[in-house]
Structure 1
Amino acid sequence: MSSKRLSILPPVSSSGPKPPVHFSSSITIADSALLTGTHQVTVLSESVIHPRARLDSSAGRLNLGRRCIVHERAHLGLVPTNGRFTEAAVTLGDYVAVEVGAVVEAGNTVVGEGSTVGVGARVGAGAVVGKHCTLTPHTEIAAGAVVPDFTIVFSNGMRRTDRRGVAVELKNKAVARQIDVLRRMIPSNPAKFV
């Protein structure tokens, strides 16, 4: 029996140029995350980038706020097939979670503070998702659409105002606790991307 340690994740190769980055010293970024592109990638304090998350700045800047979580196989900055933008940034506010397999297309796309982009959801180019919104799994937000603050969007296109009454401070504390756990679970290697 071989004494070699088996890796849980297969090696991941980057297919493109290495983007210029500006990382806070307190971020957690997995060694197997993919960063490609030519525009600036900025990640602010205490944000977490999971293994196999893809940040693509080919079309424009990527700006991630404080305490954001980008899960496995999430893709930020995907260039839409029909998109031609003079400015194609993606901006995530503070406390944003982009869950497993979700996509946020490039094109001055904004996801507001405290919002969650659910598993397999897609935010189209140029869409603006307001603060403290919830996009349930497999939701699609059309290119250029605007989602008002405190809106829940379901995968069938239905929307409703979030009236759960959860205090923003409590949500933020829960995210901070989740980040604390993730920082202990995900080996971080920001130097690989600098």
Structure 2
Amino acid sequence: MDPRHSSSRPTPQQSHLRPPPHHRPLATTASSAPPASAPPRAPVTAHPTATISDSAVFQGPHRITIGSGSIIHPRARIYSHDGPVVIGDGCIISEKASVGIAPGSGASTRGQGRARNAASASASGYGEGGGGGELPIRISANVTIGPVATVHPGVQIHSAAVVDALAIVHRRVSIGAHAKICARCEVPTNTKVPEWAVVWGIGAGFGIRRKIKVVGKKAGPVALAAAAAAAAGGGSVQALEMTLEGRAAEDARMVGLHKEREVLVKYIASSGGGRRR
């Protein structure tokens, strides 16, 4: 082959596919979507002696009121999307507890539609109807909401009641004074829990009974003195003994609750996760 012919052939150049100068890469779905707006922070009115953790969440358009001496634990969530929330004096809202629910939350429908429970509660005389519209939450004085417990809109909890850990209280439930909702129990919608009652059960299970107001057959000295005075006046000694012993046990629990609040205030303040408002 003539070397002159071989050298005269043009050398093929490698071509790379490149976008034209006016072409711009497509943006990803996440970057093209408008940024989601953060939920509005609820207007909060708290007593100066209330202790509120900095990591507690307050959301919703309605006002949230917190009474004197109440404690809001870290990561507790209070939502006022369905109506105002009133928390009385000396209450404890424990860690990760939820008072109210966020819009579109799965908790809003969890456990609903369990007609058997609702029918059972109604047949037992504990059912109570409720209308639509605004659903405020009212929590009276000295109420304790346990860790990871959920209180739905429209719930009213009377004084000195306890909602234990992981319990769920559905919409329009009324809980009487000194009542207790045991751990992992789920109270159906429109249920009325009497005062001095204990509600127990896990998931679909549901039971209710009155608290026993006596700690033993032997009465204390205060109860015996009062019973003797009542007996002199023609009253029932046994009934008075039971009432006074039950009242003494509940008073002792309230004293323990007050001590617990004092310790919690010091603990939350020392950890730097909360302050008095």
TM-score, reference length from structure 1: 0.85
Given that 1:92 and 1:113 are in contact with CA atoms closer than 8 Å, whether structure 2 keeps it comes out as: yes
| Alpha-carbon shift at residue 171 of structure 1 (Å) | 2.3
| Structure 2 CA distance for aligned equivalents of residues 15 and 161 of structure 1 | 45
The residue number in structure 1 matching 2:39 is 16
Question: How far apart are 1:32 and its partner, in Å?
Answer: 0.5
2:98 maps to which residue?
A: 75
Note if 1:38 corresponds to 2:61.
yes
Alignment-derived partner of residue 66 in structure 1:
89
Aligned twin of 1:103:
150
* 1:15–1:36 CA contact under 8 A, matched in 2: no
**Structure 1 letter corresponding to 2:68:** S
Asked if residue 162 in structure 1 is aligned to residue 211 in structure 2, the reply is yes
SS at match of 1:159: strand
CA contact (8 A) 1:77 1:89 kept: no
**Counterpart for residue 262 of structure 2:** 180
> Once the two structures are superposed, what CA deviation does each residue of 1:116-174 show, in whole Å capped at 9, x if it has no partner?
10110011110001000111101111111100000001113121111142534322211
Matched to 2:143, the amino acid is: V
Question: What is the number of residues matched between the two proteins?
Answer: 177
Partner of 1:137: 183
Which residue matches 1:52? 75
Using the aligned pairs only, state the percent identity. Answer: 28
Unaligned runs of 5+ in 2: 1-36, 103-107, 113-130, 214-245
State the one-letter code of the partner of 2:208. Answer: R
Q: In structure 2, what is the Cα distance between the partners aligned to 1:126 and 1:96?
A: 17
Q: 1:140 is aligned with what amino acid?
A: E
Alpha-carbon shift at residue 15 of structure 1 (Å): 4.6
Please give the secondary structure, in 1, of the residue aligned with 2:100: strand
Between Structure 1 and Structure 2, whose CA radius of gyration is higher?
A: 2
Q: 1:2-23: CA deviations, max 9, x gaps?
A: xxxxxxxxxxxx9510111110
Q: Is the 8 Å Cα contact of residues 161 and 179 (structure 2) preserved in structure 1?
A: yes
User: Which structure has greater helix proportion?
Assistant: 2
Higher RCO, 1 vs 2 (CA within 8 Å, ≥6 residues apart): 1
Alpha-carbon RMSD across the aligned residues, in angstroms, is: 2.0
Contact 2:45 2:63 in 1 (8 A): yes
Read off the aligned partner of 2:261 and give its amino acid letter: I
Question: Which of the two has greater strand per residue?
Answer: 1
Partner of 2:7: none
Structure 1 stretch displaced more, 157-166 or 23-32: 157-166
Q: 1:117 aligns with which of 145, 159, 163?
A: 163
Deviating runs (4+, > 6 A) in structure 1?
A: none
Mapped pair 1:87 → 2:128:
no
Aligned partner letter, 1:189: R
Secondary structure, aligned partner of 2:256: helix
CA distance in structure 2 between the partners assigned to 1:170 and 1:127 by the alignment: 27
Deviations 1:29-72 (A, max 9, x none): 11111111110100000000000000001111110011000001
Distance between the aligned counterparts of 1:118 and 1:67, measured in 2?
17
Runs of 5+ unmatched residues, structure 1: 1-13
